Amino acid sequence: MAQFPVVRMRRLRATEALRRLVRETTLAPSDLIYPLFVVEGQGVQRAIGAMPGNYHWSLDTLPCVLDEVASLGIPGVLLFGIPEEKDEVGSQAYAPEGIVQRAVRAIKQSHPDLLVITDVCLCEYTSHGHCGVVTADGCLQNDPTLELLQRTAVSHAQAGADIVAPSDMMDGRVGAIRAALDANGFESVALLAYAAKYASAFYGPFREAADSAPRFGDRRAYQMDPANRREALREVALDVAEGADLVMVKPALSYLDVIREVRDRFDLPLVAYNVSGEYSMVKAAAANGWVDGERLMLEILTSIKRAGADVILTYHALEAARLLRAAG
């Protein structure tokens, strides 16, 4: 192989035109999905303190943000619902007139071409804040939770969701939900599995936004240990075998190695979740003048795409899409 001075690697870095020409990884608005928090009430567009630039939306204010999502070329949204009332079994998660079910119908009426992905979990809806049925001594029950997740997913499909996305990390939930969808005539509704979801400290701002922090204990008994990589591949393989159409790694930034491994081993579309803590760190550092927030945001999103993600769920979606569109 030729060496310096014949080879000069800087030749192809000299101008923006050259850098664009040889760029290996490209990022576009079509790679992004925007998470939204929907709440009860009227006229609500309430700022989320820990996540600057993100809001709680009531159904009547949703169209303004959906208009921008659509105009920027972002293909869809991921819905999280915050109910007015919670109980031990999260019944508002699968109520026909629950906040997410009504939001799905509203979005499909006002913006029928937008993809609607729904988070299927109970943590926002349970009084104890855990992701399923809990015994009197505080133990989360896997198998009784599956039935409630099935009911939730079917109710979302009935409302018009394009993709249901179970995030609870119960064993067997992908197969159970796929069976329930098919039995109810929703064979065409896709299933995005939160396949490798880690018990991460990066979720703090989300738990403020969704009012979903556990009232006791934590979720380490069902979400993955951040130290484990091989286990993530087993989780993905099981979800693929149970019928997942897409798989997810969450969080993204500290798990780029896992994203790469999943990309190399599996051919399904791969989604990465650039989670709330990753977002808020960028915003906090930029607000203090420590970093160029826009450059750092795009660098992080590009790194996630470079690692192998096909789709990125990110709270940066609107801001990133504006910059990408402006850059041509």
d(CA 32, CA 320): 9
Domain borders along the chain are 27-249
Say whether pLDDT at 255 is over 80: yes
CATH architecture for segment(s) 27-249: Alpha-Beta Barrel (3.20)
CA angle 225, 236, 184 (to 5 degrees): 120
State percent of the chain over pLDDT 90: 90
pTM for the whole thing? Answer: 0.96
Task: Give per-residue pLDDT as tens, 37-48.
Answer: 999 999 999 999
Q: CA nearest 81: which of 49, 50, 58, 61?
A: 58
pLDDT at 202: 96
Q: What confidence tier does 146 reach under pLDDT thresholds 50, 70, 90? A: very high
Q: What's the average model confidence in pLDDT over 236-245?
A: 98
State percent of the chain over pLDDT 70: 100
Q: What confidence tier does 324 reach under pLDDT thresholds 50, 70, 90? A: very high
- Is 197 known to be catalytic? yes
Q: Which of 86, 108, 197, 305 is catalytic?
A: 197
CB 121 within 8 Å of CB 167: yes
Task: Give per-residue pLDDT as tens, 259-318.
Answer: 999 999 999 999 999 999 999 999 999 999 999 999 999 999 999 999 999 999 999 999
Query: Measuring CA to CA, how many Å separate 287 from each of 202, 208, 282?
Result: 19, 20, 8
Q: Which two tokens stand for residue 94?
A: 């699968």
Q: Which of 86, 108, 250, 305 is catalytic?
A: 250
Sign of CA dihedral 211, 52, 81, 270: negative
Say whether pLDDT at 86 is over 90: yes
